[in-house]
Chain A
């Protein structure tokens, strides 16, 4: 396939992907070997994906909805929601009607 060229508003492809930083942002605890495999694969995919930068013509803003919807509101009226006990039954750990999670910050 051939791609149109020109219209490069954007900096050239970044070569280095700080994959450990990306994995931290994504909350994925990966090994060094795994990170290296993903870094190499992302490089190939992003090299192809960078072809979006070849788009010619004036920049435009996309709507995410083909029918042109902007927003949808419902009436501000309380309606029944899911049963709390049923929802909590799916959780790994609960106590007194709450989800249980470890501290947000490491302690000790």
Chain B
């Protein structure tokens, strides 16, 4: 096995045993990227010089016995909506073409302090709006399992890089499922932490009450150790949680004997592919055999969660994206007045999906429609939080498919926004509630396309979440990897 195909934990053992250097690990990772990027287009920017410097520093530290923890010397990728000082950061939008931030996002600072090696910036749907990574202003990303299909989105570049071995782990952001759904479609682990536990300082905002940064990785343990590195209170984020944080790894490997696990009856049926439903049912049976008590639960508000999300998220986006005005950074069009300049700049700089959501959000917030749309969506959000609270009186964790379908063909949903939005029907409730959730790969369908299994837990319930996810991973014993067509780019 090439070292860039290892897990973080396995690579860390070899780095510390002296069997592998961080520079060798990085070179293997860059070589894989070189051979796969022409097909996949996972990266927008590869920072070869910065990465080599960080890898050499990691080797020097390790040689001196300075141990910065599990991410030291590990090649990682960052979704391109996280600011990196001096390295182009576009959020896949033409409006930010050439933008080099004067600061690092808090997660980037934490990764650097932990000795991680940042390989580059990965592709996404523009401003993280989408479920296929086809809405990028710089061209689509494709799925390593089948390059005629999408990797999911919006963190599709991060998912494709980890799946293909052009990073060992990546960070994504999840507003409606944008970590978990691409992880599911790309056969890897993807985790959204409790809202407020990972700083959003330096994350280019989409919907501030929903956005959360989290890991995409090859194993549940890798996700847990990455989370433990990036989370924690940050005074630069006013929504950052300042209390005690649990240990995500505390109960890994403990099994699930005696736990109560809820199956959400609303997340099944029409629109769900038979292979997905069958794999999820088999896993639920396996969890029962492993000692869990399975409880069927109805959470009726989940059926209107998608509708609430597509009012709340665009409303917040329409306000957040007002900052892109052609005055302080990014693209600028000509105009004889400020308003003309702004309106032309924005029409030229934003792609169709971003324009659509700004219009939708502006409408939902406009006089006369506010109560019927945005106000009512916020009431639905409260009702969803109530449904979750009632469920967690009966069970320790909830499970469902991550996505109703496996990876779909490129182009299949680009002209039908509503069909694309339905990709996130299983993941959106956890964003509206702010609770943690994770997708774990459990198998493939008849076309060798991966299927993901979602575990959800209460706020700050990461220890339980990872405990259940680790058992799902053990029971699934999913070891399949994509067969890559390597062509030098």
The answer to whether A97 has its CB under 8 Å from any CB of chain B is no
Structural contact, A67 and B343, CB atoms closer than 8 A: no
B36, chain A: closest CB distance, angstroms: 32
In the complex, the chain A residue whose C-beta lies closest to that of B237 is A72
Given the complex, which residues of A lie within 8 Å of B310, measured CB to CB?
45, 48-49
A24, B326: Cα distance in complex, Å: 16
Q: A59-B379, A67-B434 are in contact. Are A14 and B235 (CB under 8 A)?
A: no
In the complex, whether A78 has a CB less than 8 A from a CB of chain B is: no
Interface size class of B (residues with CB under 8 A): 35 or more
A14 to chain B, nearest CB (A): 7
Cα of A105 to Cα of B363 in the assembled complex, Å: 25
**1-47 of chain A: CB within 8 A of chain B:** 1-4, 10-11, 14, 17, 19, 22-30, 38, 41-42, 44-46
In the complex, are the beta carbons of A69 and B356 less than 8 A apart? no
Q: Is the CB of B240 within 8 A of A72?
A: yes
**How large, as a class, is the contact surface on chain A?**
35 or more
* A102 surroundings in chain B (CB, below 8 A): 335-338, 340-341
User: In the bound complex, do residue B327 and residue A91 qualify as a contact, i.e. CB atoms below 8 Å apart?
Assistant: yes
Contact with A along B425-437 (1 / 0, CB 8 A): 0000000011100
Q: Which A62-108 residues have a C-beta within 8 angstroms of B?
A: 62-67, 69, 71-72, 74, 82-83, 86-87, 89-93, 99, 101-107
- Assess whether A106 is in contact with B385, with CB atoms less than 8 Å apart: no
B288 within 8 A of A: no
* B66 proximal to A (CB < 8 A): no
The answer on a CB contact under 8 Å between B376 and A10 is: yes
Q: How many angstroms between the C-alpha atoms of A19 and B363 in the bound complex? A: 9
Q: Is the CB of B344 within 8 A of A29?
A: yes
| Residue pair A42, B359 in contact (C-beta under 8 Å) | yes
Q: How far is the CA of A41 from the CA of B238 in the complex (A)?
A: 35
With A10-B371, A41-B356 known as contacts, the answer to whether A1 contacts B301 (CB < 8 A) is no
Q: What A residues does B343 contact at CB under 8 A? A: 24, 27-29
The reply to whether B342 and A27 contact each other, CB–CB distance below 8 Å, is yes
Q: Which residues of B contact A (CB under 8 A)?
A: 99-103, 194-196, 209, 235, 238-243, 269-271, 300-301, 303-304, 306-308, 310-311, 318, 322, 325-332, 335-344, 346-347, 350, 355-356, 358-360, 362-364, 366, 368-369, 371-373, 376-383, 385-386, 417-418, 421, 433-435, 459-460
Given contacts A25-B366, A49-B310, A92-B332, 17 further A-B contacts (CB under 8 A): A11-B372, A22-B366, A26-B359, A48-B307, A49-B377, A50-B373, A51-B304, A52-B304, A52-B377, A52-B380, A55-B383, A61-B378, A62-B379, A63-B382, A67-B195, A90-B100, A92-B329
